[in-house]
């Protein structure tokens, strides 16, 4: 026997996908001309089926022999029931049929006890791998219980889904950038997976600097040098800020640790647009509404903080209004938030305490049926 199969099958919940799952798929890809991966998810589970399919598809996009599909599986789990077995296999066949035609399955790759029986029902060879989890000591149950402990076993998009996003917001010159940088650095010093803690800078500040530079480049050399007070903002600028901020955040989450620290976000952009334009455009609202869940907002108070003019700030007189508006916006949402007062060290201490409380609270994920 050559030891090579024509069509291999990998079945799983992938709740979430981890290194053990990818070991199975890799083994199948190395031994088969074609592999179909079928993700099966119940509606009651916390990670949507579409996300699991997208994550697996992204991970295996470089291998044309691997095809990923998904099916909704709200059936009970009962390995002693012939009826349940038949219904489950029928769902699997529906998933296989959703992929490009490949004929019958002649090998089933699994690390679960049911793998042998599943292969028999497909009339295929049973390839059982790592059933005791010696090669990859990880499981979906373990990851759901403590994602940070298995961070190295997760692909970038899965990490991004589990990342606790901590966002620092506040009016101009209230220490948002200082606090967010200090917080990210303090977490990195803890080591372990926290050494990967990312920090997302404020794109609006970057755009402001660019606008000032452009204004100076086109200004009359004989006239006054343009400043930030000569810069004009329209709704398209704020839409760009919100979109760029979301993009930068997602990149950082994919490459970072269990906590991501952000110096502002698209929700904060709605407040800034309101300040400069008197209202919030639909595009910016959609950017804010489409953000992944925030774990915590930290609001830097303007009280007792001197205004520092760095050449890119123009709203000293508006700081109390903006702080109050941030309070209103955060209070109207569902994300926990904390307003920080005190000096630099005190604010960092309070922020770290809040993050530790966050990390001590498990991410609420429903158990799979059965």
pLDDT digits (tens, 9 = 90+) for 159-176: 999 999 999 999 988 999
- Rounded Cα gap, residues 235 and 286, in angstroms: 13
| Averaged pLDDT of the chain | 94
* Residue 137 and residue 248 in one domain: no
* Residue 177 and residue 127 in one domain: no
Residue 250 pLDDT: 97
Domain assignment present for residue 204? The answer is: yes
Buried b (16+ CB within 10 A) or exposed e, 55-93: bbbebbeeeebbbbbbbebebeeeeeeeeebeebeebbe
* Residue 179 and residue 91 in one domain: no
Q: Which of residues 145, 177, 194 is at a domain's end?
A: 145
* Residue 205 and residue 127 in one domain: no
- Rounded Cα gap, residues 276 and 197, in angstroms: 32
The DSSP annotation for 110-126 comes to ESSTTHHHHHHHHT-EE
**DSSP state, 323?**
H
* Residue 233 and residue 177 in one domain: yes
Contact 149, 159 (CB under 8 A): no
- Percent of all residues in the chain with a pLDDT value above 70, rounded to a whole number: 97
Residue 2 pLDDT: 58
- Rounded Cα gap, residues 301 and 313, in angstroms: 17
* Residue 201 and residue 134 in one domain: no
User: Which strand (E) or helix (H) includes residue 109?
Assistant: strand 107-110
Domain that holds residue 10: 5-145
Residue 227 pLDDT: 87
- Using a CB cutoff of 8 Å and minimum separation of 24, what contacts does 85-89 make? 85/117, 85/121, 89/118, 89/121, 89/122
- Domain holding 338: CATH number? 3.40.50.300
Question: Above 60 in pLDDT, residue 1?
Answer: no
Domain assignment present for residue 364? The answer is: no
The answer to whether the pTM exceeds 0.75 is yes
* Residue 242 and residue 133 in one domain: no
> What distances in angstroms separate CA 202 from CA 69, 163, 287, one per listed residue?
38, 19, 15
- pLDDT tens per residue across span 276-335: 999 999 999 999 999 999 999 999 998 878 767 665 565 667 889 999 999 999 999 999
């Amino acid at each position: 026997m050559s030891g090579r199969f024509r069509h291999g099958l990998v079945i799983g919940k992938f709740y979430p996908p981890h290194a053990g799952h990818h070991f199975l798929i890799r083994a199948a890809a190395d031994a088969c001309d074609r592999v179909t991966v079928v993700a099966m998810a119940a509606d009651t589970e916390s990670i949507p089926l579409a996300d699991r399919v997208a994550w697996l598809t992204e991970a295996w996009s470089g291998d044309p022999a691997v095809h990923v599909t998904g099916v909704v599986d709200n059936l009970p789990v009962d390995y002693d029931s012939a009826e349940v077995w038949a219904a489950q296999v029928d769902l699997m066949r529906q998933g296989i049929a959703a992929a490009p035609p490949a004929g019958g399955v002649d090998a089933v790759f699994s690390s679960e006890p049911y793998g042998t029986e599943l292969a028999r029902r497909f009339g295929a060879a049973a390839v059982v791998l790592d059933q005791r989890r010696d090669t990859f000591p990880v499981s979906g149950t373990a990851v759901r219980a403590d994602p940070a402990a298995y961070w190295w076993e997760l692909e970038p998009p899965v990490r991004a889904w589990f990342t606790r996003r901590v966002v620092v917001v506040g009016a101009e010159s209230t220490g948002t950038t200082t606090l967010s940088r200090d917080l990210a650095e303090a977490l990195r010093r803890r080591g372990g997976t926290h050494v990967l803690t990312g920090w997302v800078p404020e794109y609006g500040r970057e755009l402001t600097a660019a606008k000032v530079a452009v204004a100076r480049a086109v200004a009359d050399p004989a006239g006054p040098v343009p400043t930030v007070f000569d810069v004009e903002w329209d709704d398209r600028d704020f839409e760009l800020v919100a979109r760029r901020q979301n993009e930068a955040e997602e990149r950082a989450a994919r490459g970072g640790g269990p906590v991501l620290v952000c110096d502002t976000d698209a929700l904060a952009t709605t407040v800034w647009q309101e300040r400069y334009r008197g209202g919030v455009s639909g595009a910016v609202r959609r950017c804010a509404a489409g953000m992944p869940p925030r774990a915590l907002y930290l609001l830097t108070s303007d009280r007792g903080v001197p205004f520092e003019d760095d050449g890119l700030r123009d709203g000293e007189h508006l700081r109390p209004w903006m702080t109050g508006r941030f309070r209103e916006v955060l209070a109207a949402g569902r994300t926990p938030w904390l307003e920080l007062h005190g000096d630099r060290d005190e604010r960092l201490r309070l922020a770290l305490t809040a993050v530790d409380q966050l990390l001590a609270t498990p991410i609420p994920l429903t158990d799979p049926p059965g």
